[in-house]
Amino acid sequence: MIALAVLALASADAAPVAEPEPPAAAVDNAGGTAEVLADFQQEQGKRGPLEGRWRVTAQDGTPLYLIELADPGGHPDPRSARPEAPRLEGAWLDLGRTEALDGAGYLAAAKSTPRGLVLMFYEGRGRAGARTVHLRLTEDGWRGDLRSRRRRTFVTMNRDALIAALP
């Protein structure tokens, strides 16, 4: 009986099997990267114009500080120190002392006005460590000065890309 079934299968004409067609256009989405980036860009559009990473540089080109600003753009922000009253906040890093324990910290104050921007932070201990950056927006970007107890340094502040631009 089994021999007859094998003989019947061997002598039967095989029905042609259609090969599956390849997809019209294979999209490389790398695990949802396109959707994540689209969602991120949509949410970033709701943030204020100062949102992001900035580099403060001396007039001679010496990089001094990285400043990371959170600008909620007037919208409530659950990540803010005061979510119900969003305001400009941030952190700083001394680029000359990146490994020092007191070489980074939070901004003590950040205020944006129609005439400019003022950032204040403490580097080191006490009032001697107070730093204030006074900036005004010009055609060439943010320009102003960094003031400490005994020094005044002319500076510029420009965006510093955390992630290189994607194609």
Predicted confidence band of residue 8 (pLDDT cuts 50, 70, 90): very low
Average pLDDT over every residue of 144-158? 94
Q: Which residue has the higher pLDDT, 13 or 83?
A: 83
Strands 89-94 and 116-122: unpaired
Over residues 125-134, the pLDDT tens digits come to: 766 689 999 9
Residue 6 has pLDDT above 90, yes or no: no
> Which domains are seen in the chain, by residue range?
48-159 (2.40.128)
Residue 36 has pLDDT above 90, yes or no: no
Residue 53 has pLDDT above 90, yes or no: yes
What are the residues whose beta carbons fall under 8 Å from the beta carbon of 16, sequence distance 6 or more?
A: none
Distance CA 21, CA 32 (A): 24
Instruction: Give φ, ψ of 112 to 5 degrees.
Output: -105, 130
Over residues 92-109, the pLDDT tens digits come to: 999 999 998 889 999 999
pTM: 0.69
